[in-house]
Structure formats: structure tokens, C-alpha cells
Structure 1
Amino acid sequence: MIEVKDIFKKFGDNEVLKGITADFKPGVTTLIIGSSGSGKTTLMKNMVGLHEPNGGKVFYDGRDFTSMDTKERIDIRKEIGMLFQGSALFDSMTVEKNIRFPLDMFTDQGIGEKTDRVNDVLERVNLAGKNKLFPAELSGGMMKRVGIARAIAMRPKYLFCDEPNSGLDPKSSIMIDELVSEITNEYEITTVIVTHDMNSVMGIGEHILFLHQGQKWWEGSKDEITSTDNKELNEFVFATQLMETLLKKK
């Protein structure tokens, strides 16, 4: 479980986060949504330590992450998997070496054990046998799946996904959503997803945080989002769905 308590973040005079408090539970996909500039990516970066909050606390299973120094945070960071917006694969490395990268960095496992783990996660993301391919030989959807395989190679307790469907066609987007949701439930991972994709929200949105102007404006499930009377949320949902419809017609 991750607890965020009264998080504030400023960049100069610009207050981006204005006292965000939320809980993120194991085995649940939590989606953070909001318009550009609402603070959703900044919140995620504060949660993983890429930014330091100006106020507030982040707890990982009761451990005060914000009060730790760099060395003390290493143990928690080993428990975190990250899926980046652009997959962030190393072009010069094969699929196998990309997935093995965190194992090489953070474990003293032998090559055989690492290879077994690579094969396990490749099979889990339906890419068995693709070990020797390079990123340039993969489709966008396949690269995302390799990114997921690398993110779960260390058996993380926490998984963060930044716009996981960015640049994907609708079929691949659904596949990635379903894969992340299945892995979350299967391994009881605490999963946090930043997204603007309403199809993802309505597909796997077990828990949804809507940020507006740096504040937590609404919280609920995908079932509740369709019946809310929250004006700003309804405007966001309508505008997002309209944009998705226009893009599909191009």
C-alpha cells in the first residue's frame, strides 16, 4: 500500500500540487487522470522520488519514503517497477538484455537464474522466444510489453505506468490495459497509472483520482464516474471523448 499525505509541490512561484492526499491499495489499478497541467505526472514523480515535495509525506507500507536519504531509499526502489511513456528500451540491447538490466543492476543472481527470470516474464507478456530481437524489430505494442516484462522482472510490490498507451492503436491499447490489470491482480501489486485515455479509465479503472488545478477534485471507480455531478470531471470526460472521436476519424 502507498499512502500520499498532504503533498505540496512548487516550481518557483508555480504551485503545482496543493495538498494531495490519497491511498493506493495492493491488487488494485489506480488511474490518475486530469487535463494537462493538473499535476498528475508531478504527483507520480513525487511518489517515486524523481521530485521532492515541498510539504507532505509518501509512505510505502508504512515506511516514510520522503524522510529517507538516497541510500535508505534503495531498498524501496528495488521494489518499484516503472513503465515509461516511450518504453525507454535501450536500442543497442536485445530484448533479453533490456529485461535483464535491473537484475544485473540490483541482484547478485547468476546468469542462469537471470535468464530463467527473463524467459518467465517474456512468457507472461506473450513474447516467448523474442529474446534476441532488438527494439527496432518490434512493433509499438511489443515494445510496451517488453517494457512491462522489464518492470516486473524484479517481482515489484509497486508498479508505476506513465501513459502506457501513448502512441498505440486501439487494439494494442486494450491489450496493454488488460495485461497490466491482470498482472496487478495476479501478483497483488500496487499499481499507479497516469493516463488521459478514457478507454483505459472505463476498462480497468478500479480506483480513479481526478486532479484539477493541483488538487484532488474527485475520487471513485469507473462505475461512479458515469453518474457523477462533478462539473469539472464531466467537462474533462466529454472533452477527452470528443478528442478521441475526432482523432479516430482522421
Structure 2
Amino acid sequence: MIEVQNIHKSFGDNHVLRGIDAKFEPGKISLIIGGSGSGKSTLLKCMVGLHAPEQGKVIYNGEDFTRMDFEARIPIRKEIGMLFQNSALFDSMTVEQNIIFPLEMFSEMSRSEKVDRANYCLERVNLAGRNKLYPAELSGGMKKRVGIARAISMSPKYLFVDEPNSGLDPETAILIDELISELTDEYQCTTVVVTHDMNSVMGIGDYILFLYKGQKWWEGSNKEIAHTDVEELNNFVFASPFMKAAKERF
């Protein structure tokens, strides 16, 4: 489990996060949603240690991550897999080398074990045999899947995903959602996804945290979201005619 308690984060005079509290449970997909500038990605970066909050705690299974120094954080970092919004693949590395990169940093596997693990991860994301391709040779959806393969290379206990469906066509976005769901179930990891994709919200949202102007405005499941009377949430989620129709089905 990951718990955030009273998280505040500012950049100069811009108070981006204003006292966020939330719990993210293992084996479930938690989605962080909200408009642009609401603090979604900032919260995610605070959770993984890329930003230091001015106030509050990020707790991994009872351990206060925010109070740890670099060395103390290493065991938890080994258990974290992360897919960045643009996939963040190394252009000069092959697909196989990109996937092996975390294993080179954090594992004591032999070379053959690392290659075997890369092959397994590529099979899990339906990209078997693409080891020697470079990122420039991949489509956007394939890059996302390679990014996911790299994120699961260390068999993560915690999986963080930032805008996995941005720039993808609807069919590919559904495949990415299904893959995230399958991997969450397989590893029973605590999965946290930042997204603007309302199809993801209605499809895989076990727990949804809605941020509005840097505050926690609502939390619940995708079944509960269809029956909320929170105006700001309704305006955000059900703005399109398609989503309004989807709400009626729930």
C-alpha cells in the first residue's frame, strides 16, 4: 500500500498541491484525474521522489519515503516500475537494452538472465522478437509497450504510469489499458495511473482520485463516479455526449 498524507507542493508562488490525502491499495488500479494544472503529475512525482513536498508524507507499507535519504530509498526504488508520458526510451539503445537498463542498475543477474528477463517482458507486451529494433523504428503504441516492458523488468511491487494513452488511437489505448490491468493482477502491484482518458476511468478505475485546483475534490470507484453530484467532477468526466451516454449505462 502507498499512502500520501497532507502533501503540499509549490513552485515559487504557485501552490500546486494543497494538502492531498489518499491511499493506493495493492492489486488495484488507482487513477489520478483532473484538469490541466490540477496537480496530477506533480503528485505522482512526489510519490516516486522526483519532487520533494514542502509538507506531508509519502508512506510505502509503513515506511516514510519522504524522510529517507538517497541510500535508504534504494530498496523501495528497486520495487518501483514507471512508465513516463513520452515512454522516455533511450534513442541510442535497442529495445532489449532499454528493458535491461534497470536490471543493470539494480540487479545482480548474469547477462543471460537479463536477456531472458527482457525476452519474457517483451512476450508479456506482445512484442516478442523486437529486441534489436531502436525506438525510432517503433510506432507510438509499441513505444508505450516497450516502456511497460521496462517498467515490469524488476517485477515491481509499485507501478506508476503517466498518461499511458496520450497520442494513441482508441483501439491501441484500449489494448494498453487491458495490459495494465493484466499486469496489475499478475504482480498484485499497487498501480497508480495519471490519465485524461475517460475510457480508462470507466473501464479500469478501481479507485479514482479527482484533483481540482490542487485539492482532493472527490474519490471513489468508476461505478460511484457515475452517480456523483459533485459539479466539478461531472463537468470534467461527462463533458462529451459520448460520456454522458456512458453515464446512463451505469
Deviations 1:34-71 (A, max 9, x none): 00111111111111111111111000111110010111
Q: Size of the alignment, in residue pairs? A: 244
Aligned to 1:162: 162
Secondary structure of 1:32's aligned partner: strand
AA matched with 1:159? L
Residue 90 of structure 1: CA displacement?
1.1
Residue 107 of structure 1: CA displacement?
1.4
Deviations 1:150-183 (A, max 9, x none): 0000111001000001110000000001100110
Q: Output the CA distance in 1 between the equivalents of 2:138 and 2:35.
A: 31
Deviations 1:97-126 (A, max 9, x none): 110010011112110110110111111111
Residue 191 of structure 1: CA displacement?
0.4
Deviations 1:178-214 (A, max 9, x none): 1001100111010000001101111111110000111
AA matched with 2:168? L
Aligned to 2:248: none
> Percent of aligned positions with the same letter in both sequences?
70
Residue 244 of structure 1: CA displacement?
9.3
Whether the aligned pair in 1 keeps the contact of 2:99 and 2:150 (CA below 8 Å) is yes
Aligned to 1:152: 152
AA matched with 2:6? D
Q: Output the CA distance in 2 between the equivalents of 1:96 and 1:244.
A: 39
Aligned to 2:207: 207
2:24 corresponds to 1:24: yes
Q: Output the CA distance in 1 between the equivalents of 2:220 and 2:149.
A: 29
Aligned to 1:50: 50
Aligned to 2:83: 83
CA RMSD of aligned residues (A): 1.4
Residue 237 of structure 1: CA displacement?
1.3
2:108 corresponds to 1:111: no
Q: Output the CA distance in 2 between the equivalents of 1:228 and 1:126.
A: 38
Query: Scaled by the length of structure 2, what TM-score is found?
Result: 0.95
Q: Output the CA distance in 2 between the equivalents of 1:138 and 1:51.
A: 31
Aligned to 1:171: 171
Aligned to 1:235: 235
Unaligned runs of 5+ in 1: 246-250
AA matched with 1:103? L
